[in-house]
Amino acid sequence: MRRKALGYALSVCVLLVIEVSAASQLRFCLHSNPKTFNPLMVDDDASEAVRYLTGGVLVRLNRRSQLLEPELASSWRVSGNGRSITFTLRKGVRFSDGTPFDANDVAFTMKSLMDPALHSPIGDAFRSAQGEIATATSGDSKVTISFPAAVAGLDKLFDQVAIVSSRSPMKERAVLGPFTVSEYKAGSYLVLQRNPNYWKKDGAGHPLPYLNSIRLDIEQNRELELNRFRRGEIQLINAVDASAFDQLKVQSSSAAIDAGPSLDSEEMWFNQVPDAPIPAYKRAWFQQKEFRQAISSAINRDDLVRIVFHGHAASAAGPVSPANRFWFNSNLKPVAFDPTAATKLLAHNGFHMDGSILRDGEGHAVEFSILTNSGNTSRNRMAAMIQQDLGALGIKVNIVTLDFPSLIERMTRTFAYEACLLGLVNTDLDPNSQMNIWLSSGENHQWNPAQTSPATAWETECDRLMRAQASATNLQRRKQIFDRVQELVAEQQPFIYLVHKNSLSAIANTVRGADPVALSPQTYWNIERISLLSEGAAK
């Protein structure tokens, strides 16, 4: 009898242990296999997620306050007009395998990052000019990194640099972040275990992170991801679309969270490439500022927000989303829907109605195609709504959906398109990350890329301003200059900005401490402070 009772008690204990360990494992999905576990080589979303969860950085951008906070560096100082930065490091920090962390690791990381043979995508952000980057250590806890020319927003770039060990035999598998990779089955899942040597503690002195482990299931299908969330198999979804969000909201209002406008934008633009294989009279329309302004005025952005995004978006005024609190130019307002003003603008430029068809001064019917990528429901719907809005002005719009490679081919090589509707994913707050968009020589200056010299006066001005903001070290001065760039873009409408989608996420009610924001990674940016309740406790 006593033996039976003992056995029963033991099995209850085992069950409890299993439940506790399962309860402290957070689960969510990655949408592809990570391409690399080397934090210096990250170039895809899945690898970036792993880097965020495992990598230790010198400074971290607080996704809520959008301010830099000390991490492995207890303090830092930018000097030489943005040409060098000195970090003072925390003492007593160890990598996950127990190897001590010091200034040599920072120097080693920077040297590896800037090694031309490595082709690190993160390293490119630091390459302000030709020349070597020098690192100088002073004792174990001070390191100065000097660049050949000023790097704007230098300290913020270190949010992306996960420090790797110069001595550990485990190389990049030895990490300084809250978790370490413990198991990986390609195409299936990835398990991260708590880093036993993680340096951070909460206010009460408890070691962080709270979670024991994280299981990242690799799931490409968003609908299946949503179903798994509903079944309680995963606890977080970083980004859900508007219709799925509304369904979730109905089922469990606390699970669906709208964190407001994200940094991403949806926009359309006209092809202004001088030698693009399109009729000359169409190119002439597209190069007219007034034509672009008229099209912009004729699009009902409020309807796009209400119908396509179910209200979970904001009409866009320009390239910077209001989510980017510092760099957003609050003087800019979205272009108001005003078909009458659009008609007047067009009439002023020689366009006239012929029955129900709008014609230009030479009698050509105004008709163009809008190219977008296939399989993106919201973009197809936006295109259909724009088609009807412009149809009211007598403009015939043909919508063409192409697979992504064919679309990119037309957009970047053959330039055989008239207008394009796409989105821009922004992960960086600093305008320097948009240099290749706004410089007329930039490859992503989509309406007329890679110009040898600026085609228009306003693009010359834009080039000058972007270079000026990049070389200015005073943040307020940079802001002033970039505000002017935003005003130029709003006036010229090379990109007709439509909406900024909201950052919509799903968080199970068993998750505590999550504080979703618009910046990536929206739901788990404060992963160290996230914990899990058991189902029963949550109820």
Question: Are the C-beta atoms of 372 and 379 separated by less than 8 Å?
Answer: yes
Please spell the DSSP secondary structure of 337-377, one letter per residue.
--HHHHHHHHHHTT-EEETTEEE-TT--B-EEEEEEETT-H
- Determine the residue type at 410: R
Residues facing residue 146 across a β-bridge: 84, 134
191 near another protein, judged by CB under 8 A: no
Asked if 533 is part of the footprint of another protein (rule: CB under 8 A), the reply reads no
3-state secondary structure 31-49: CCCCCCCCHHHCCCHHHHH
Closest CA to 515 of 506, 504, 526, 531: 526
252 sits near another protein (criterion: CB under 8 A): no
- Phi/psi region, residue 64 (left: phi>0; alpha: psi -120 to 50; beta: rest), is alpha
Whole-number minimum distance, CB 45 to another protein, in Å?
22
Which residues are 49's β-sheet partners? none
Applying CB under 8 A, among 33, 243, 471, 526 the residue interacting with another protein is 243
Distance CA 507, CA 505 (A): 7
- Work out how close the CB of 256 gets to another protein at its nearest, in angstroms, rounded to a whole number: 14
Phi first, then psi: give them for residue 289, nearest 5 degrees.
-60, -40
Rounded least distance, CB 374 to another protein, Å: 3
Which 221-240 residues touch another protein, going by CB under 8 A? 223, 226-227, 230
116 Cβ contact partners less than 8 Å away, ≥ 6 residues apart:
none
Q: Kindly give the interhelix angle for 457-471 and 475-492, rounded to the nearest 10 degrees.
A: 160
Q: Is 199 in the site for another protein (CB under 8 A)?
A: no
Tell me, residue by residue from 288 to 317, as one string, x for binding to another protein by CB under 8 A and - for no binding. Answer: ---------------x--xxx---------
531-532 vs 179-185, strand pairing mode: unpaired
Nearest to 293 by CA among 328, 331, 354, 339: 339
Nearer to another protein, 153 or 423 (CB): 423
The total number of residues shown for the chain amounts to 539
Nearer to another protein, 223 or 535 (CB): 223
Indicate which single residue of 44, 367, 461, 487 sits in contact with another protein (rule: CB under 8 A).
Answer: 367
Give the nearer residue to another protein in terms of CB position, either 272 or 486: 272
Q: With contact defined as beta carbons under 8 Å apart, do 480 and 474 qualify?
A: no
Closest by Cα among 53, 22, 24 to 523: 53
Residue closer to another protein (CB basis): 416 or 424: 416
Nearer to another protein, 241 or 515 (CB): 241
Query: Which run of H or of E encompasses 498?
Result: strand 495-507
Choose the stretch contacting another protein; rule: CB under 8 A; options: 114-122, 164-172, 290-298, 398-406.
398-406
Q: What pairing do the DSSP bridges indicate for beta strands 367-373 and 419-424?
A: parallel
Residue span binding another protein (CB under 8 A) among the ranges 40-48, 51-59, 361-369, 448-456: 361-369
Handedness of CA 241, 246, 252, 253 (dihedral sign): positive
Give the H/E segment covering residue 179.
Answer: strand 179-185
- Does 219 participate in binding another protein (rule CB under 8 A)? no
Residue in 385, 489, 506, 518 binding another protein, rule: CB under 8 A = 385
- Among 21, 65, 182, 398, the residue binding another protein under the rule CB under 8 A is 398
Q: How many CB atoms lie within 10 A of CB 186?
A: 9
Residue with tokens 């989510």: 323
* Binds another protein by CB under 8 A, chosen from 403, 443, 491, 535: 403
Please identify which residue in 341, 399, 468, 488 interacts with another protein, judged by CB under 8 A: 399
In the complex with another protein, which residue's Cβ is closer, 212 or 401?
401
Does 418 interact with another protein (rule: CB under 8 A)? yes
| Number of chain residues interacting with another protein (CB under 8 A) | 37
Closest CB to another protein among residues 370, 519: 370
State the amino acid at position 470 in one-letter form. A
401 makes contact with another protein (CB under 8 A):
yes
CB within 8 Å of 207: residues ≥ 6 apart:
198, 200, 201
**CA distance linking residue 209 with residue 24, whole number of Å:** 11
Among 137, 146, 193, 369, binds another protein (CB under 8 A): 369
Q: Is the CB of 389 or the CB of 428 nearer to another protein?
A: 389
* Residue 254 makes contact with another protein by CB under 8 A: no
402, 450, 455, 468: which one contacts another protein (CB under 8 A)? 402
Nearest distance from C-beta of residue 414 to another protein, angstroms: 11
DSSP structural state of residue 172: G
- Binding span for another protein by CB under 8 A among 352-360, 403-411, 452-460, 468-476: 403-411
Choices 168-176, 211-219, 362-370, 491-499; region in contact with another protein by CB under 8 A: 362-370
**Shortest separation between residue 241's beta carbon and another protein, angstroms:** 9
| Shortest Cβ 310–another protein spacing (Å) | 9
**Residue 417 engages another protein in binding (rule: CB under 8 A):** yes
387 is an interface residue for another protein by CB under 8 A: yes
Q: Are residues 345 and 338 in contact, defined by beta-carbon separation less than 8 angstroms?
A: no
Chain positions contacting another protein, by CB under 8 A: 223, 226-227, 230, 243-244, 247, 303, 306-308, 367-369, 371, 373-376, 380-381, 383-385, 387-388, 398-403, 406, 409, 416-418
